[in-house]
A and B are shown apart, each in its own frame.
Chain A
């Protein structure tokens, strides 16, 4: 079953295109990676998937719904972590999880989520007093507390230390084993290689290539996803310079 279907998506800000004709599909249970240079249009694209932005043209279907029109109905089944968002500074970690759990029809046990994401020791801390990585971890836990069918995580491990990053990979691996579909935006090729079934390389508002990490490496004649990424983005940049 196809969970996400994006066709010829376009979105411009003040006349400058940010996403310029993007098409892809994501199947149920798949972990789909989105990588690309700063300003490539990754956040704009995934925000169209969760209904935060309305496409200028093209179609977006997620779980059979149109996100821009059915944002709240969709939110019941989709967990999201935004690249930039905060919680009230005086809200405590455990309170945030309990509050967000109350938003969903069939939430996970928020206490279990608290433990799973290693937030137990800081459960009584205010959001404003958390370190960057702790905030990030809480945002991930909040994205998952509603037991979503699909998760959309924008830069899920940015700001996490190497140990926390690997712990997060293990937790995402667990989601995958449970059949959850995931869209992961990341700047870490190692992460995309470890977690993603397929990866889309974004460059200048378009998808330069999409495929399994191995396919991308083979297609570009390079040895790894990292090398393939560099080759694809650099050639897109050269085109722009011309």
Chain B
């Protein structure tokens, strides 16, 4: 347990030294919020940006880090310590969760206190949707890390999956403004359901569907990553 706490603290520290992760998970969402603050309904952006922050971290930052650990034999070195290399993957997941919460807290704080957005109507369903979204994007990230042969390809695959997800899924821009075909495509993306779940929790009526989709995708991706992951 002590080893895992140290590993997690270390992963978090390393993540906070990554300028790309810092910018895209903290500064960039805040920038978008400020740019959209003239909108009549600022509240619609908060659930979206939470999903966007999580997706950037889990789907595009995480696979690059994990694949680099494999390529540079960091995992192999850890395999000859009393700590299992899987602990490093768990620590990376935990660090992503903390980083995601930090980025979300800043955006939500500025929205609620700076732009007078009403606090969430259904905090518990919102929290559940958030937790499931966080687990799901990291599970997707681990599948990418498992499939990519090299660190560079993991980074590329991550970006190629993350960008369509946040734009078509309503995380970067609201889906209401998308053309009909693109909006329909978005329905097949798991992140869309995360945004729906988060919105429902904030200002809508929570329904079971988004939770089931997020949980299902998380389970399937975790199983796939566990089956496909190569340690070296």
List A residues at the B interface (Cβ < 8 Å).
50-52, 71-73, 75-76, 78, 80, 82, 84-88, 90-91, 95, 98-100, 102-105, 146
Contacts and interface: CB of A to CB of B under 8 A. Distances in A.
Contacts of A100: 81
Contacts of B82: 72-73, 75-76, 103-105, 146
B83 interface: yes
B3 A85 contact: no
Contact of B80 (A71, A73, A90, A95): A71
Interface residues of B, number: 22
24 contacts: A51-B79, A52-B76, A52-B79, A52-B80, A71-B79, A71-B80, A72-B82, A72-B84, A73-B82, A75-B81, A80-B80, A82-B77, A82-B80, A84-B73, A85-B77, A86-B72, A86-B74, A87-B77, A99-B7, A99-B10, A102-B6, A103-B82, A105-B82, A146-B81
Nearest to B71: A86
B80 A75 contact: yes
A80 to B, nearest CB: 4
Which of B3, B74, B79, B81 has the most chain A CB within a 10 Å cutoff?
A: B81
Interface in B1-52: 2-3, 6-7, 10, 13-14, 17-18
B163 interface: no
Given A90-B14, A102-B3, A51 B74 contact: no
Nearest to B2: A102
Q: List 3 A-B pairs, minimum CB-CB distance, nearest first.
A: A85-B77, A86-B72, A85-B73
A87 B83 contact: no
Contacts of A102: 2-3, 6
Contacts of A73: 82
B14 to A, nearest CB: 5
A87 B76 CA distance: 10
B69 interface: yes
Interface of B: 2-3, 6-7, 10, 13-14, 17-18, 68-69, 72-74, 76-77, 79-84
Contacts of B6: 98-99, 102-103
Which of B7, B18, B79, B84 has the most chain A CB within a 10 Å cutoff?
A: B79
Contacts of A52: 76, 79-80
A95 B13 CA distance: 10
Contacts of A84: 73
Contact of B74 (A71, A80, A88, A98): A88
Contacts of B72: 85-86
Given A102-B2, A104-B82, A82 B10 contact: no
Contacts of B14: 88, 90-91
Given A52-B80, A85-B73, A85-B77, A90 B2 contact: no
Contact of B76 (A85, A91, A146): A85
A95 B10 contact: yes
A52 B2 CA distance: 24
Contacts of A50: 80
B91 to A, nearest CB: 10
Nearest to A84: B73
A80 B7 CA distance: 19
Contacts of B74: 85-88
A78 B3 CA distance: 17
B78 to A, nearest CB: 9
A137 to B, nearest CB: 15
A73 to B, nearest CB: 8
B230 to A, nearest CB: 14
